[in-house]
Amino acid sequence: MKRMKKTLTHREKKVMVALLRFPELTNSSLAGKLGLSVSTVSAIKNRLLEEGYLVQKAWVNLQALGCKYLGAIHFKVNPLSSAAHRKAAKAKILEILKPIVASFEETESTHFAHFRDYREFHNKLTELKAFLGGFPYLLEDPKCALIILDETRFSRFDFADLTEKLLDEK
C-alpha cells in the first residue's frame, strides 16, 4: 500500500462517494451516473484501493446463517474481586454467552455474541446477571446493546455521508 495523498481531486472524491452510495453498481453504471468514462472510473477506483483510501470487503448475510441478532455486553469489573471470583466469572460468561469475541481486562470486559432471537438474548443475559450478582464481580449493571441483523433494517453501515463530509473538510 502506498502512502495516501494529502488531498484528493474532485473526480476522486466523486468516485469514492459514489462507490460507497452504490457498491452494487458496475464501473460502467457508475461512470454513467457520474458522467465519466468507464476507464476513468476504473483507474480512480484502482488508485483509491492502491493508496489505501478504499478497502475491498466481502459482505456475509449473517441472517441466512441463522444469526439474527448480534449482542454487545460490557461489564465494569470490581478491581477488589478476588482472583477466584474473576476466574469463575470468566468461565461462566464464556459458558453462557459463547461469545464470538471476548475481551477480559483488569477492570472491564466486553463480549460480542450472536443470538437466534430476542428471547435467547434476554434469557442468557438474565442467567448471566443472576450468576454475577452472587458475588462482588461487577461494579454496576452490564451495558448491553442488541443489533438486529435483518436486511430490512441493517444490511451494512452506510458511511457515504460521513465520507463526503470528511472529504469536504479537506
pLDDT at 114: 85
The answer to whether 127 touches 115, Cβ cutoff 8 Å, is: no
Q: Looking at the predicted structure, is the pLDDT value of residue 156 above 60?
A: no
CATH topology of domain 10-59: Arc Repressor Mutant, subunit A (1.10.10)
pTM: 0.54
List the grid coordinates of 93.
460468561
Beta bridge partner(s), residue 144: 73
Q: Domain residues of the chain, as ranges? A: 10-59, 62-148
Determine what percent of the chain is predicted with pLDDT higher than 70. 86
The answer to whether 124 touches 69, Cβ cutoff 8 Å, is: no
pLDDT at 170: 62
Which CATH architecture does the domain made up of 62-148 adopt?
2-Layer Sandwich (3.30)
3-state secondary structure 53-105: CCCCCCCCCHHHHCCCEEEEEEEEECCCCCHHHHHHHHHHHHHHHCCCEEEEC
CA–CA separation, 133 and 111 (whole Å): 18
| Per-residue pLDDT tens digits for 33-77 | 999 999 999 999 999 999 989 888 766 666 677 777 888 999 888
Beta bridge partner(s), residue 109: 75, 104
